[in-house]
Structure 1
């Protein structure tokens, strides 16, 4: 697999994993709330977006400030700035 394809795959995985986690948490959170059926989808979508954002931000903070190894919680252990050998983050511009 080429480096570009590997980088693309890593970015896709690191995007989809928080969405899936957010959807599952949103489903479980909204399943115990009794509301009007016409607002059920809205609530589920809002909770999914909220949990997805919270999960992603928390894992990125843990990965940045605690240990880069925690990136596996996003499905792929490398942070976005390490996907390619020619990453702009590796070349400091003064």
Structure 2
């Protein structure tokens, strides 16, 4: 597989995993709260956004300041800077 594909795969996985985690946590947080059905959907969306953001930021901080191995919590151990740093993008005209 090409380096470009591997970088794309890594960035996609590291984007989707926090969304899934945030969605599951948001669903669990709002599952037992009896609310108006219209408001329930909005609350679940808001909780998903908050949990996704918190999870991603926390894991990136842990990965940066504690151990790069914690990147696996995002589904792929390499951080974005390690698979894109010092590699000029061949597809962008300069």
Aligned partner of 1:69 in structure 2 is: 69
Coordinate RMSD, CA, aligned: 1.3
Q: Is the 8 A contact 1:18 1:55 kept in 2?
A: yes
Structure 1 consecutive aligned stretches of length 4 or more whose deviation exceeds 2 Å: 84-88
Aligned partner of 2:45 in structure 1 is: 45
Show CA shifts across 1:12-36 (max 9, x none). Answer: 0000000000000000000011111
Aligned partner of 1:92 in structure 2 is: none
Give 1:81-92 correspondences, 5 Å limit.
81-84=81-84, 86-87=86-87
Report how many aligned residue pairs link the two structures: 88
Q: TM-score, normalised by structure 2?
A: 0.89
Structure 1: 5+ residue stretches without partners:
89-94
Structure 2: 5+ residue stretches without partners:
89-94
Q: TM-score, normalised by structure 1?
A: 0.89
